Each structure stands twice: as C-alpha cells, then as structure tokens.
Amino acid sequence: MAISFSLAGKTALVTGANTGIGQAIAVGLAQAGADVALAGRSHPAETLDLIAQAGCKAVNITADLASTAPVTRVVDEAVAALGRIDILVNNAGIIRRDDLLQFSEADWDAVIDTNLKTLFFLSQAAARGMVAQGSGKIINIASLLTFQGGIRVPSYAAAKSGVGGVTKAMANELAPHGVQVNAIAPGYIATNNTAALQADETRNRQILERIPAGRWGDPSDIAGAAVFLASPASNYVTGHVLAVDGGWLAR
C-alpha cells in the first residue's frame, strides 16, 4: 500500500494561527492540500493569504478562546464553511510568568482555561462530528514543559502536562471510531514570542549549547510534524506526544 502524506480533499480547523507556529501549521496543511478554517482573536490576514496562495480555501472565525463560550459556534461555523472537520489543531495558548510564591489565582485560571479547558471542550465538540463520519485527526500543541517543570511558569507547566494526559485519554476513547489524537511538543522555536531570548547573547548561547542539533527550530519544523500527524501516513499513531526539539529532551 502506498504511503500518503496528502491532505487533498481534507478540511482543517486551526486555532491561534495568526503568526508563528500556528501560522506555519495552517499553511503547511494547506500546502498538503487541506482547506483551512482559522479561529482566534486577531484577524490572520497574512495566514489567510498564504493559504490562498497554496490554492486552498481559507476561512476566518473570530473567537476569543480564553473561555469555552465560543466553542460550539466555532465548530458550527467551520462545518458550515468547509462541510466537515477532518483535522483539528489546538494551537492557541497563553503564558503567564511570576515567582511561585507570588503567582496569582487569576494568572493560574487564565492559563488553565485557555491552554487546557478550552482545548478539551473544542476537541469534544469537533470529535462528535469526527465520530459520526468515522474518521478524524486531533493534534494538540504541547510543550517541553509537558515533560519538564520550567521556572516561574507553574500554570503553564500544569496546563501543558495536562495536554499530554488529555491527549492520551482522548486517544483511548476515540481510536475505536477511527479518530487519532496526538500532540506535538515544540522545542525552542524561532518566533516573535522567543525574539527576546534569541537577542539575549548569554541565554541564546546557553540554549544552543543544550540543543544537540545546534540551532533554533523553525516553525516549518513543527508544520512538517503536523502534516504527518494529519495525514493517512499516521493512521496507526495515536496517544503520542511527539517532541520536535532538536534533541533537547535527549540531552
């Protein structure tokens, strides 16, 4: 049987695709042939244009995923625009930093709600349609902090650890219905969010010394993993958290 990485005829819903990793994933899915709906607070004009350039349909759905309130509407609008949802990528997320002894309940709740609670309930809403059609792919964006504790980011570490756990829980229940659920744990990726770290000579050197590959990751590195997990080539892969980190965790 021929191995296929093609997404021709497939549809995807990607959250938080305005820039960076989310944008790269959305464009990568389109380049593999998928029509893509984008959900987030900001209008992703550049991403929409890049998807159109790839020859695929691009749809914007404005939604603040800081709560579960828009979840049903987002799924309904994506289905109305694209016909169905074959692929869901839960990329939207936030981070709050503070010392452990001063970390506020508001910062805790904001991160857990966006990064874990909304992720689960959006997956649940999309999975109903996937189960009905007998196929689907859910890809959650985890983190190196799915495996490590980090410093000054307790709610983010808790949320991303939870993403790893809920990925496996969803995979167990959805596998009999032809739906695969996996996660990607990006390493240090060169995006706007990490610009300050890259510009800090000392921290940049320390990071590169720890990465066996000797370089920062590019958002396209994550897009490649997402295309694999969204494609028929990964039909027997489920419940897995794939680290795309240049070897960071192996060090």
Domain ranges of the chain: 11-190+218-245
Distance CA 112, CA 238 (A): 24
Catalytic residue annotation? 156
Query: 11-190+218-245 maps to which CATH number?
Result: 3.40.50.720
The predicted pLDDT at position 1 comes to 67
Distance CA 55, CA 58 (A): 9
Distance CA 26, CA 58 (A): 10
Distance CA 60, CA 46 (A): 11
pLDDT in tens, the chain (251 residues): 678 999 999 999 999 999 999 999 999 999 999 999 999 999 999 999 999 999 999 999 999 999 999 999 999 999 999 999 999 999 999 999 999 999 999 999 999 999 999 999 999 999 999 999 999 999 999 999 999 999 999 999 999 999 999 999 999 999 999 999 999 999 999 998 898 889 999 999 999 999 999 999 999 999 999 999 999 999 999 999 999 999 999 99
Name beta bridge partners: 35.
Answer: 11
